[in-house]
Amino acid sequence: MLQISDLSARVAGKDILTGVNLTVQPGEVHAIMGPNGSGKSTLAQVLAGREDYEVTRGSVIFEGRDLLAMRAEERARAGLFLGFQYPVEIPGVNNVYLLKAALNAKRKAAGEPEVDAYEFLVLIRQKMKFMQMSESFLTRGVNEGFSGGEKKRNEILQMLVLEPKLAILDETDSGLDIDALKVVSMGVNSLRDPKRAVVLVTHYQRLLDYVIPDQVHVLSGGRIVKSGDKSLAHELERRGYDWVLGAQVA
Amino acid sequence: MNAALRSFEAQWRARPADALQPIREQAMQRFLKLGLPTSSDETWRYTDLRSLAAQSFQAAAGEIRGTLDPNAALSLVDGTQRAATMIMINGAAPADADNTRIHGFTISSIKSLSKLDHGALLRFFPPVSDADQRRWVLLNTALFDDGLYLKITERVTVPLVILHVSSGAGAQEAAHPRIIIDAAPGSSATIIEHHVTHGEFAPLSNSNTHIALGQDAQLEHYRVYATSAGATHLDALEIHQARGSQCKQFTIALGGGLVRSSLDVYLNQSGASLESHALLVGHGDRHVDCVNIVTHAAPDTRSRQTARAIAGDTSRVIFNSKVIVKAGAVHSDSQQSCRGLLLSPSAEIDTRPQLEIHADEVKCAHGATVGRLDPDMLFYLLSRGLDRETAQSLLVYAFLADVLTGMSVTSARSAIESALIGQLPDSQTLRNFK
Ligand SMILES: Nc1ncnc2c1ncn2[C@@H]1O[C@H](COP(=O)(O)OP(=O)(O)O)[C@@H](O)[C@H]1O
Ligand SMILES: [Mg+2]
């Protein structure tokens, strides 16, 4: 599904990613953990196609295609989804318009007809109910005045409507109370199937109790310094990052 | 003396005297003395009239060539709102103006009123002023042929549309439309002035609207510039507000080649309040120069000025606003806010809010920002698979949204929205959204 090889990237003249290697197979869930500033969000944004992040080395193959040669919108239509760590507020652009436009863009790229307005509303209502979101969401601007938790739910809602092949969720769990965390986890789990994959960027092991990862990686200094199974997350929780980083130096 | 001035003087000499002659005479002499504004006049710094000054103008006839598309006449307000439409051709009041009956209004031509009640009319011709933002009003006063006088006598909910049609028989004509809106105490109405072009030639339009709001009167006033790309439009609006009156004013620039729009508001008595909204769209090589001057002349007056300017292609949009608080106008409360959005590297937006305060205990805020589309917002939309053009248009649209949502005439709002969307890239997709 996704093969990242020796990926290096620079932001504002600063090298942030320094040779990331990662392979994700269909059906898998990977967790990427690491201290603040280690480059997790940069990796997520580079994969989603943010242009002001300059790739200096390496390659990324997504579903057999050269991901780095595709524009952000093409990546999205090809089935890549980024759940933002800080979803931006866009007053004046209605949430539902955005969702519909996004879904239609994807369908158009796949040669499918536009979604019927009524069917779309039914779909949205059903997914909103699943995500325990209030009706008022339908009339509001994108993330406008949403609480932190609402923004994260909205990201997951978009993911559920778009049904991506690969979802990269950047700290979708931070700032959530336990109930919201359960709802978000349920959303992620509902997308799990043998043809899809999920990359969870997270700070805490907490989320991984609900969404069980196949592999856990530690990103530090712009590269993956350790990988393991889910027990690695527990170990990090107990011993902190210094343990891994110290081991690196030694 | 430049060619334009000479030609205006020739027109002046050729016109027969009428009841307003002393006022006209005074205005014309002043205009000839001061001349056309130049870039050394403060409010004309950004607008170069040299090519206009080099042309000779003839008076545009108050009649149209061919037939007017009735859809154009009603394009801003739909039939269900049963708006009455008054059509002004090159500034000429409709022939049947004096016999027009519209509920809540008393309507006549300015000439008829000058015969009927000359004293009443003089109220709407303030003493001539040297202020450069009012320069073209002098010429309008001297040369307007006839205009429309609208008295609002009651509380009316149905909007009234004044359709200003610019239609020339050839190049280099000029018209001087004049409107007087006289809102009786306690009255309330919505008036939409819609400026369009008909046919191949658009005369230079030098329009002037004078509004007087009586005590506690309420008015929602729109002026929509939707003339053709080659048209030059100089428009001045003056509003005088009495105690407790409320005015909501929308200035919408969607068309024209060179648009100069001024707003002068006088909050003359306490409790008067103004909300002014400008939505200025630079498209192609359009030049839009908007200047607002709001004078708080009495205590406890309030003004809000909001402007949204967008400039694409090689267009240029200017928005300058000024609040003057006169001595004694304590507890004046004013806000000026302008946001500009540049859509192309060759476009330009200039904005400057100014304050001139001569009283204590006032609350005056102002702010102005000009920027480009927010890259975070753009990336968010792209990351959801939207086309770049669609994403940009959506953001531009969102940028203008709060001015649009303030409009209470929903059909006018959607017509303006639709015209606006038509000037954004990828308008078809955007229309499908709505
Ligand atoms: N737009 C940017 N401009 C400059 N520096 C940035 C930018 N984005 C991220 N960085 C820097 O890159 C490093 C990695 O940031 P980030 O990827 O957000 O880390 P993480 O998500 O792991 O906390 C940090 O040092 C951060 O300051
Ligand atoms: Mg981060």
CA distance A50 to chain B (A): 7
3-state secondary structure of A81: strand
What atom in ligand 1 is closest to the CA of residue A35?
A: 22
Q: Do B401 and A73 touch (CB under 8 A)?
A: no
pLDDT digits 0-9 by tens, B32-68:
999 999 999 999 999 999 999 999 999 998 887 777 7
Chain B positions in Cβ-Cβ contact with residue A106 (cut-off 8 Å): 385
B9 sits in the region (left: phi over 0; alpha: psi -120 to 50; else beta) called alpha
The domain limits of chain A are 2-249
CA distance B29 to B35: 10
Q: pLDDT tens-digit profile of B338-372?
A: 999 999 899 999 999 999 999 999 999 999 999 99
What's the pLDDT score for residue B74? 45
- Exposed/middle/buried for residue A178 (C-beta within 10 Å: 0-12, 13-18, 19+): exposed
> Which of B376, B385, B400 lies nearest to residue A102, judging by beta carbons?
B385
The alpha carbons of chain A give a radius of gyration, in whole angstroms, of 18
Lowest pLDDT segment from B75-89, B158-172, B179-193 = B75-89
pLDDT band at B97 (very low <50, low <70, confident <90, very high): confident
Among A36, A41, A224, name the best residue to mutate to test ligand 1's pocket (greatest count of ligand atoms within 8 A of Cβ): A41
A85 touches chain B (CB under 8 A): no
pLDDT computed for residue A180 by the predictor: 85
Given pLDDT bands bounded at 50, 70 and 90, which one contains residue B73? very low
Please tell me the distance in Å from B391's CA to the nearest CA on chain A: 9
**What pLDDT sits at residue A249?**
47
User: What's the CA gap between B411 and B188, in Å, rounded?
Assistant: 19
B434 has pLDDT over 60? no
pLDDT tens readout for residues B279-326 = 999 989 999 999 999 999 999 999 999 999 999 899 999 999 999 999
- pLDDT at B105 > cutoff 80: yes
The pLDDT score that the predictor gives to residue A237 is: 82
- The pLDDT of residue A155 is 93
- How far is Cα B91 from Cα B97, in angstroms, rounded to an integer? 13
Is B390 in Cβ contact with A72 (below 8 Å)? no
Amino acid identity of B328? G
The pLDDT mean for chain B works out to 91
Whether B382 sits inside 8 A of A102 (CB atoms) is no
Scan for tokens 């030609």, then name that residue: B7
A157 within 8 A of A191, measured Cβ to Cβ: no
Please tell me the distance from the alpha carbon of residue B69 to that of residue B345, in angstroms, as a whole number: 38
For residues B61 and B382, the model is more confident at B382
Across B95-112, average pLDDT: 89
b/e map B246-278, b = 16+ CB within 10 Å: bbbbbbbbbbbbbbbbbbbbbbbbbbbbbbbbb
Residue identifier of the C-alpha nearest atom 18 of ligand 1: A41
Please indicate whether, in this complex, the C-beta atoms of A76 and B382 are within 8 angstroms of each other. Answer: yes
Q: How many CB atoms lie within 10 A of CB B109?
A: 21
Nearest CA to A22 out of A13, A12, A31, A35 is that of A31
Asked if residue B226 lies in contact with residue B286, where contact means CB atoms within 8 angstroms, the answer is no
Q: What is the ipTM of this complex?
A: 0.96
Look at strands B105-109 and B148-152 and give their pairing: antiparallel
Maximal CA-CA distance, chain A: 61
Q: Position B175: which residue type?
A: A
β strands within A37-187, DSSP E: 53-62, 65-66, 80-83, 90-94, 141-142, 166-170
pLDDT at A9: 95
- CB of B249 within 8 A of CB of B263? yes
Q: Per-residue confidence at B426, pLDDT binned at 50, 70, 90?
A: low
CB atoms within 10 A of CB B194: 25
Decide: helix, strand or coil at residue A10: strand
Q: What distance in angstroms lies between residue A244's CA and the mean position of ligand 1's atoms?
A: 21
Residues of chain A with pLDDT under 50: 249-250
Contacts for B125-131 with beta carbons within 8 Å, 24 or more apart?
Answer: B125/B20, B125/B23, B125/B210, B126/B238, B128/B26, B128/B27, B128/B30, B130/B30, B130/B34
φ and ψ of B339, to 5 deg: -125, 130
Distance of CA A39 from the midpoint of ligand 2 (Å): 7
Residues B96/B212, Cβ–Cβ less than 8 Å: no
CATH match for A2-249 among 3.40.50.720, 1.20.1370.20, 3.40.50.300, 2.40.50.220: 3.40.50.300
The predicted model gives B183-194 an average pLDDT of 96
Q: Do A76 and B375 touch (CB under 8 A)?
A: no
User: Among residues of chain B, what percentage have pLDDT more than 70?
Assistant: 94
Query: Taking residues B117-127, what's their average pLDDT?
Result: 89
Taking the centre of ligand 1 as the mean of its atom positions, its distance from the CA of residue B16, in whole angstroms, is: 76
Strand partners, A59: A5
Predicted confidence at residue A147, as pLDDT, reads 86
